[in-house]
Structure 1
Amino acid sequence: MRKPLEGVLVLEFCQFLAGPSAGLKLADLGARVIKIERPIHGDACRQLAIKNLFIDNDSLLFHTINRHKESYAADLKDPEDLKRLNVLISKADIMVHNFRPGVMEKIGLSYQAVQLINPKIIYGVVTGYGNEGPWAKKPGQDLLIQSISGLTYLSGTSNDGPVPFGLSVSDIMCGNHLAQGLMAALIKRAKTGKSVLVEVSLLESILDVQFEVITTYLNDGGKLPERSAMDGSAHAYLSAPYGIYATANGYLALAMADLALVSQLINCDISDLYGDKHSAFENRDALISRLGEKFKTAHTGNWLTILEDEGVWCAEVLDYKSAVKLKAYQDLAIEQELVLNDGRILKTTASPIRLNREKLFSTKAAPGLGHNNNEINEEFKLN
């Protein structure tokens, strides 16, 4: 299958997660992505490890978001290297960077400067807080972004302090937004023949993720979210029975459901707590507690049979060890294997996108630093 972005050349002047994750999305869709990295050290993410896991001297994290790319090592402060990069830029369709505001201007690769090199370039910029304002040059790091966005007061219980999300969700969503913007820009350029500037920020992305609850806050008299005091609370704005409940042998998740029906099916009397739909939120904690005591009396499988037979949305709560064994997991073919330079195999996830019912797989591992310098120099006549 010919992928939709085949023939599109992307130059990635990015490190860490947000920008490179956007490049990964484009690479999965067929684009040729060349990472422009500083000599010796390269992308800082090469040494940013999760659980201190490394493969071939680069972190496992680096491998997860830089597969199917090429690496070109260049010193942006070296006139000769910069001259070579200008030639590459003149041939590129897209270039992206996540330097702090002002850095690319000093180097001579601002959007305006690059337009003179390539009038049809699509120029993507990732920042922490936007290009202007008092926070423009603050470090855009995921936990910091989560902390100032209000996100940490949505998880956990009312007895907890702020609870950060257990993923680099700001980075990941910002990368998705950047990829969307770049692909939209490709369509616009095809119509106009002109360059397009695409800008995203970590803060805007994480605020956008919260659009439902922020909209609620803005239109509800400025009332803050009310987290439940009960363990297993899953949403600060939703009524009982929404949440996760302990059972005799595990946990059960209940989505939006008819509270009266659920209580009837599990034989739990809530008549003193539930009179109308408003009391499902007003008495949320007491209702969750009452239901929770009942769910503890039987195994998860028992409750699933009772509830699913009546169309109630529910699921067993699984860890990774159990989740990857699900037939649904296997049927989705979410895993793929990358072949490392020494022949070893690295397992990772595949693109979640299907085109004409076909999955988008790529077995090409992340590149070593500067691995493609010679061939790129020769191909583009950079020497």
Structure 2
Amino acid sequence: MTAQVATHSYEIDFKREVDPLPEKPKGEAMADLLSGVRVLSFNHFLMGPVAAQFLADLGADVIAVEPPDGAFQRKWGGADKWVDGQSMLLLTGNRNKRSLTLDLKKPEAIEIARKLIATSDVMAENFRPGVLDKLGLGYEEAKKINPQIIYAAASGYGPDGPYVYRPGQDLLVQAMSGLATITGSREQGPRAVGVSAVDHHGAALFAAGILAALVRKTRTGQGCRVDVSLLSAALDLQMESFTCYLNGQRPDDVRQPGPISGWYYGAPYGIYPTRDAHIAISLGSLSALSKTLDLPVDQRIPDKEAYRRRDEASAAIAANVAERTTAECIALFEAGGIWHAAVNDYADVVSDPQVVHNKNFQVVNGATGAPITLVSHPVRYDGKLPEVRLPPQKLGAQTEEILKELGYDDRQLKELSKTGAVGALKSARAA
């Protein structure tokens, strides 16, 4: 996949309160969870880097290996936004990692990679199946170097099969997995989820698979191969829907009708336009909702017919709600015990009291000195969130440090840099 690099950027407001980064890990419980675990990461795009970042947040020493000109995530900005030359994709999934540049077309770089495999607990990659095998760094060769290695591979469709060489990308997988269909509607057709939902869920599964393998390795000393695919992640996202579809009578159409969200839900479950915005109405009693909205008797559908007559019920609810403001609906629903939520835009989310309380977003000084805002690690440990010990690093920032840990001296480092096997040492380049 090629990407066109944007030549301009939006102005970023740097006048924000910044959380100071600790000079060294403080050794708190959440930073120690994976202390002593080394992860060698040959990942690019989104799913692989985000999975490795999850492990890095927990204290793993994640060494992110990139070519000397940088991996894809440094070259695509998302909305043409850049912070001091750093792309949004880079900032999304690359904190708490050390950056190493290797040109794997050079034999000297392959030798470095092999030495790192020998010293690592996990080797994670998301190249197309077979790419690292051709370089002598695939699973079978990695096992020879380190019999206890956990080799984790993420791909578009799996390590083998009829689609093994197809390009795997979030939108394509949303389309072929049915996710775009059930997210759309009968009236407007398929619609993809507005974020890379499959990549993000795949990253969570990728990290979970690695963690499971690490638990077994701790218990038995045995390594493992872990395989995760975008396709399987997309289907896993639809577990409830497919379980319902595959058992019993199948519907003719899985696109939802009107405001109902999800073909297998009955009314009122869905999002409804109000006079000034939208409101979500969740699972609950149709009878209670009808009473709360003071629907005419002939429009009140019994609870036992909430699924069969959902089109009729949702139409009556929609017409009623459309005459009220969101604030009026909220007041009614709170009084009536109806599960509901206003539909927030991003500005609302950022200022939401619970989001602020949870510290779901944090501002830290980036590797270039400019403040960057990151989405926090999603899990708390003993009531605390893992620290951002390292912001996403400049390309190759730790190359010299890592090579010296492997025993390379200054003369060897200079020669490796001269041959191009590694990127420029002590690089001050922006991402």
Of 207, 212, 219, which aligns to 2:235? 207
Of 344, 352, 359, which aligns to 1:318? 344
Of 12, 32, 44, which aligns to 1:15? 44
Of 142, 150, 156, which aligns to 1:128? 156
Letter of the 1:244 counterpart: I
Q: TM-score when scaled to structure 1?
A: 0.95
Structure 2 distance, partners of 1:143, 1:354, is: 31
Structure 1 distance, partners of 2:368, 2:168, is: 35
Q: Which has the higher contact order (CA 8 A, sep 6+)?
A: 2
How far 1:282 moved relative to its partner?
2.4
- 2:16 is matched with none
Matched, 1:62 2:85: no
Task: Describe the shift of the 1:228–1:309 C-alpha distance in structure 2 as closer, same or farther (beyond 3 A).
Answer: same
Alignment of 1:194-343 (within 5 A): 194-230=222-258, 232-269=259-296, 271-272=298-299, 274-275=301-302, 277-278=304-305, 280-343=306-369
Q: TM-score when scaled to structure 2?
A: 0.85
- 2:3 is matched with none
Structure 2 distance, partners of 1:244, 1:272, is: 19
Matched, 1:34 2:63: yes
Gaps of 5+ in 1: none
Task: Describe the shift of the 1:225–1:33 C-alpha distance in structure 2 as closer, same or farther (beyond 3 A).
Answer: farther
1:122 touches 1:182 (CA, 8 Å); kept in 2? Answer: yes
- 1:308 partner SS: helix
2:43 touches 2:65 (CA, 8 Å); kept in 1? Answer: yes
Per-residue CA deviation, residues 179-222 of structure 1 (Å, 9 max, x unaligned), is 00000101100111121111111101111111111111111334
Larger displacement relative to structure 2 (247-256 or 139-148): 247-256
- 1:337 partner SS: strand
How far 1:266 moved relative to its partner?
1.2
Aligned residues: 380
Per-residue CA deviation, residues 136-191 of structure 1 (Å, 9 max, x unaligned), is 11111111111111111112321122111111111111111110000010110011
Of 368, 371, 378, which aligns to 2:404? 378
- 1:361 is matched with 387
- 2:404 partner SS: helix
Letter of the 1:263 counterpart: S
Of 205, 209, 213, which aligns to 1:181? 209
How far 1:13 moved relative to its partner?
0.4
CA RMSD of aligned residues (A): 1.6
Structure 2 distance, partners of 1:86, 1:185, is: 21
Letter of the 1:147 counterpart: A
**Fraction of identical pairs, as percent:** 35
Structure 2 distance, partners of 1:363, 1:20, is: 16
How far 1:275 moved relative to its partner?
4.0
Task: Describe the shift of the 1:10–1:283 C-alpha distance in structure 2 as closer, same or farther (beyond 3 A).
Answer: same
- 1:356 partner SS: coil
Letter of the 1:348 counterpart: L
